[in-house]
Amino acid sequence: MIDASGLGHLKAVLFDLDGTLVDSLPTIAEAMAEAARLHGLDADPEEIIPRIGAPMDILVEELYGVSPEAADAVNDDYIRLYESTFIQRTPTLPGATALLEALRAAGLRLAVVTNKRDEGARLMTEVVGWTGMFEVVHGRDSGAPKPEPEAALAVLRKMGLEPSEAAFVGDTEFDMNCGRDAGLAAVIGLVGSRSAEHLRQHGATHLVHALDEVAPLLLGTGVTP
């Protein structure tokens, strides 16, 4: 067991968005599959879901073995389809809103670090009713995408904070690598799309299996396996 009492000094929490706070992986995969089919690619949403986390053009290159130019074309159609239709159907994950409200009430500052485009990230927060919830919403247009540590460090600079004053919460190796390499005080892995072992291997310092475990951990009132 890992004692959470050492996290009481934190001033901010950086969150991944897709698969961490919103249940967007199915709709992302459906939109990407539809976009891929427009370009003659045989696409199965179930094959896409385990790969979500990387920038989508890179995912297309790796999954279908196409050129960067072809991947960009698929990605353009994905963005159009996703932001016009699929994103509107995205629900929050259980406990997400309650978690964010509890952390804000405790005085913690919140930010999003996502590989969505900036506009897509902003739209997602509006769709689920979180306008104004986050001090910074940082998408891939604002700098290096995850897993680059700069994705987190750029947000911390905007907030005037040091890595030692923040935690990262995410569900993929891209999040864990980013938080670890940025030197954040805690890197919390949400087990689900990736296994606990996988998240540990990629930098998780703490693990949770549901969002209602995060506030007790961050506020020093609970432990995590």
Report the catalytic residues. 16
Site of tokens 């050492």: 6
Q: Which residues contact 126 (CB under 8 A, 6 or more apart)?
A: none
CA-wise closest residue to 179 among 149, 134, 142: 149
Kind plus residue range of the DSSP H or E element containing 61 = helix 56-64
Q: Do strands 2-3 and 136-138 pair parallel, antiparallel, or not at all (unpaired)?
A: unpaired
Structure tokens at 63: 């999954």
Q: Which residues contact 84 (CB under 8 A, 6 or more apart)?
A: none
CB atoms closer than 10 angstroms to residue 225: 11
